[in-house]
Structure 1
Amino acid sequence: MDYQLFKAINRLAGRNSMLDKYMIAVSKKYYFLLIIVLIYISLTGYIDRKVVKKALVSYCLSISIAYVLNQFFYKPRPFLEHQVNLLIPAKKTSSFPSKHTLFLFVVSSTLFFHDRIVGSYLWGLSVLTGISRVWLGHHYPFDILGSAIIGSMTSSVVERLENAKFSLK
């Protein structure tokens, strides 16, 4: 089923150059948009500045989980196993989990806990970015889904631990 979903999305790549350029831009640039959002929060205090710390802690936790998973589990990227529409080159590292997607969902989920409107908007853009990673031929849909779950769950755990710590005082 994962490969069938991959094919359904990836076969659309290469049919419309404007859409391909858009998906490439989403995949490459959205990552930086979230970094800018975090910097903005740090500098202006738009949302509690502790949110940036929580996002960084959550990301470190997510990357640690990804590292452990990669030590025991290697999943070849789609372009290594199948004929795909590969729009831009990619590393030959494990397809799961997607570190790119981990970061996006960590930040989006962390912000969601503090500003539901901003978090929802960014979470939607994170989903679009995940689709773009499949579109480009870099990941399978379940890689994106699994990374979204790991990123969101680590943010949730960090948020709950932080809230529990302050509620005990």
Structure 2
Amino acid sequence: MEEVNIIYIIVLIVLWLNKKSHLKMTNDAFLSILAALVTNRLIKLIYFRPRPFVKKRVGILIPSKVDSSFPSKHTILVFAFSSTIFFYKRILGSFLLGLSLLTGVSRVWVGSHYPSDIFGSGILGFFIGLILHKRSET
């Protein structure tokens, strides 16, 4: 699923290069990425949940860190970015949210996260995008 990250990077670069018409959206997209990283880090500082492969509940397909399982950094990042885009461009945002869902599912599939980690991370990421959008409306 790492190849999917290229799509997010390309979308961000295209939006940034076309910043005259999408300046507010691009700024919010960058802020959503930053906010997701900060949120992820803060939660991991105060909450620890062993990853599924550490507790021997599942096998792991791809090597992973042994830090806290919640929140999923991949999932919170892509949902924050996708939801931010969704509030400006519904079709592109819907496509990216679909990819975000696949990203989350892939994190469970490879044994790095529990489904509840992905659900919670997706909700957090979506609300980061929503809060940034509401902030920029005022």
- TM-score tier (shorter): over 0.9
What is the one-letter code of the residue matched to 2:39? I
Counterparts of residues 11-22 of structure 1 (less than 5 Å): none
Asked if the contact 2:19/2:26 (under 8 Å) is kept, the reply is: no
Give the 3 Å change call, closer, same or farther, for CA 155–129 of structure 1 in structure 2: same
Task: Please point out which of 37, 49, 64 is paired with 2:23.
Answer: 49
What is the one-letter code of the residue matched to 1:155? G
Instruction: Kindly report structure 1 stretches of 4+ aligned residues shifted beyond 4 Å.
Output: none
Q: TM-score of the superposition, structure 2-length normalised?
A: 0.93
User: Which residue of 2 is the match for residue 40 of structure 1?
Assistant: 14
Asked if the contact 1:59/1:151 (under 8 Å) is kept, the reply is: no
Count of residue pairs the alignment pairs up: 138
Distance 1:90 1:100 in 2: 12
- Structure 1 position 115 matched with structure 2 position 89: yes
Identity across aligned pairs (percent)? Answer: 41
- Structure 1 position 65 matched with structure 2 position 39: yes
What is the one-letter code of the residue matched to 1:34? Y
Asked if the contact 2:74/2:103 (under 8 Å) is kept, the reply is: no
Deviation at 1:32, TM superposition (A): 2.2
Distance 1:145 1:74 in 2: 17
Task: Please point out which of 91, 98, 104 is paired with 1:130.
Answer: 104
The secondary structure found in structure 1 opposite 2:54 is helix
Task: Please point out which of 58, 77, 101 is paired with 1:84.
Answer: 58
Gaps of 5+ in 2: none
User: Which residue of 2 is the match for residue 15 of structure 1?
Assistant: none
- Structure 1 position 96 matched with structure 2 position 70: yes
Distance 2:66 2:99 in 1: 25
The secondary structure found in structure 1 opposite 2:2 is helix
Deviation at 1:48, TM superposition (A): 1.1
Larger radius of gyration: 1
Distance 2:7 2:48 in 1: 30
Q: TM-score of the superposition, structure 1-length normalised?
A: 0.77
Distance 1:107 1:46 in 2: 19
Worse overlay, 38-47 or 94-103: 38-47
Greater relative CO (CA pairs within 8 A, separation 6+): 1
What is the one-letter code of the residue matched to 1:114? Y
Gaps of 5+ in 1: 1-26, 165-169
Distance 1:103 1:95 in 2: 15
Asked if the contact 1:31/1:100 (under 8 Å) is kept, the reply is: no
Report the aligned-residue RMSD: 1.5
